Amino acid sequence: MDLLIKNKKMSDDKKLKRKQKKFFKTADQISKNQDKRRAGKNVNKNQQDRKFKKLDKTANQVSKLKKEKASSAHEMVHSPLMKKLTASCKAAAKRKFKVYPSAYANMWASKQQKKGKC
């Protein structure tokens, strides 16, 4: 289960880094266009407006990803799937199966615990 958390965290980190990189690239493009405009070169105003919209959109996506990252980490830790098996569920699995520390017994015990039967 720890591997799931690590993989989810890594994918969120990669997504966040990718969005931040896009944000900074767009900001650089805008500053270059403003430098061209100051130098007296003709710059398409519509293109500049699209860049500003893209910058705003990317900034919103970055902030949203940061919020999701914080909330998903909290949810993963407090998820009922991440809880340990209770003693009563282990005992019920030991009674039901001949070999307790097995995948089948643990799966059955976890399903019973999720249903709230033990």
Find tokens 């969120």 and name the residue.
12
Q: Is 59 exposed, middle or buried (CB count within 10 Å of its CB: 0-12, 13-18, 19+)?
A: middle
pLDDT in tens, 58-93: 878 777 777 776 666 555 555 666 678 889 989 999
Predicted confidence at residue 56, as pLDDT, reads 80
The candidate with the shortest Cα–Cα distance to 43, out of 55, 54, 33, is: 33
Q: Is 26 exposed, middle or buried (CB count within 10 Å of its CB: 0-12, 13-18, 19+)?
A: buried
Residue 29 has pLDDT above 70, yes or no: yes
| Cα–Cα separations (whole angstroms), residue 49 to 31, 85, 87, 91 | 13, 56, 63, 66
pTM of the predicted model over 0.75: no
Predicted confidence at residue 60, as pLDDT, reads 80
Tokens, residue 64: 């949203």
